[in-house]
Amino acid sequence: MLNIINLLISAFFVQISRGQLLVTLPKGQILGHELQTVTSRPYYAYQSIPYAAAPVGELRFQAPEEPESWTGVLDATEDSHMCYQMQYDGPEESEDCLYINVFTPVLNRENDDTKLPVIFWIYGGGLRNGAARFQDYRPDYWMDEDVILVTHNYRVGMFGFLSTGDSIIPGNNGLKDQNLALKWTYENIHLFGGDKDKITVHGQSAGAVSASYHLLIKQSAGLFRSVIAESGSPLNMYSFIENPKDYAIQLAQAINPDISSDADSEEIRDFLLSLDGKTIDNYSKATAIAQPATVIEPESPTAVVTTEMYEMFESGHFYQVPVLMGICSEEALFIATSENYPIRLGRTYDANEALVVPDIFPHDEDIDTAVIGEAVKLVYLKEEDPWAEHPGRVVRHFSDQRFARAIIKQGKLISQYAPVYFYQFSYDGDVGGWNTVVEYAEKIQHAEELYYVFLNRSLSEIDEGDALTHRRLVRMWSNFIKYENPTPEPDELLENIEWPAVSPLDYKYLNINNSLSIELNPKDPYFSKWENVFETYGRRPFSTF
């Protein structure tokens, strides 16, 4: 008899727990599950929620559409499929990948006046890789800060950014996916205890490119109140292409060599729609096809980028909200993981100085690119110095070219209209995972700060300095998410520092190292010399920088 009573009690509590974990959305019901942080705090996870219809069939290469409603209770306890991408090949990939995840430290707070702030996370991956996998972006320490974390998949690579440069395949579908996921978050986060008026769009690398794009996308205005952009900007040249149809033709010809280089957009679209998604994915990975990126679209109801990004930031035509953004001290240090690569690259530069000029550097055709290359060389070296004998300068050039220059410029441009808190991450610890040393280059490469921001281990398992750096980053980021200011009051953990907003004429930034310090003019004198190169040789309007 006692055993029966125990079973009934157990069943009762399971039923109550199940009821508490059930959330009713406008499209249907979902059932989440309870997890624990590494500090043993319980939280609640809702995974694989459809925020868009599967982008298959006629929806391939098009803007996402709302999903259909479902009947019954949707199991929301596991990761969804990831979108097709360049650097992964496995059964977890699918064209049906547009799902969103919510991690919250509270249950059933819809009617509670105390709503929690929200991170809307956008993963990086060069616009060609990445997924919102639980193992990659665990929410543990955000739960401890009473911040809700929302992650989502968006299309990348050919499926996310292919364009024919016209209305047939307009492009930027990855950004459009993000916008729909952001809209879903704004409309539904109250059901998970979140405050729709305190959403921070947060991304790293291509995710930071995307996060800042939402400052420019009119459909995203009003859906968030601040941005955190780690190591990325729409002004980064790698994130933008000028002749998108060339990429579409190249893909089609790789699959079917009989397709003409003069094929019209309808022919390309119809051919690609006739294929299964895996075929397109396989050819994207197996052949040396240049990968697409964001484009300027023709005007249409679904278009999200229709004007040069630089000009929009410069003129103030963007959603003016507070931004926390920054760089790692040597973003492109990864090119030196192969010891001789910077030297080999330097020899290439010495043989042809035009190669140090960005491919899409805007200049008049009557200006010899080699002349611009000579000016770029003087940013880093004396005229008589060969690049090959200064690998550290090669690394610095690559860092500025691919990342830092554009990010710093974005901060300067938007600081005329909205608060900008700029940082440089310079802390050299074990959690970051890299210990490459190149003379005359800094020490911290792309994405090292991310391992501290999304730490997935107990602090007792890591070095004391690493733990301190993690705590500082999470504290400042959380402060910004909650109060729109990373240092709203004196805090001993943060050495009682006051992080000032950037002024266009007084570019102060926070250097995050073993200690915290306020410094002036990031990456000078290189950055100011680059500004001079653009002013001397560049042709407006600029799209990137």
What does each C-alpha distance from 232 to 133, 212, 373, 507 come to in angstroms?
21, 8, 24, 18
Alpha helix segments (H runs only) across 217-329: 244-255, 265-273, 277-286, 309-315
374 is catalytic: no
Phi-psi region for residue 363, left (φ > 0), alpha (ψ -120 to 50) or beta? beta
Catalytic residue among 314, 330, 331, 449: 331
End-to-end CA distance of the chain: 76
Among 431, 426, 429, smallest CA distance to 444 is for: 426
Radius of gyration of the chain (CA): 24
Closest CA to 545 of 326, 362, 368: 362
Q: Do 331 and 445 contact (CB within 8 A), yes or no? A: yes
Tell me the longest C-alpha to C-alpha distance in the chain: 95
**CA 164, CA 207: separation in Å to the nearest integer?**
24
Long-range contacts: 13-17, Cβ < 8 Å, 24+? none
Q: E strand or H helix at 8, and its extent?
A: helix 2-20
Q: How many helices (H) and strands (E) does the chain have?
A: 16, 16
What is the H or E stretch that residue 177 is in?
A: helix 173-188
Identity of the amino acid at 137: Y
Of 124, 269, 104, 263, nearest to 194 by C-alpha is 104
The catalytic position among 205, 220, 233, 329 is: 205
Active site residue 353: no
Per the document, the length of the chain is 545
Tokens of 439: 């003379």
Residues belonging to the active site: 205, 331
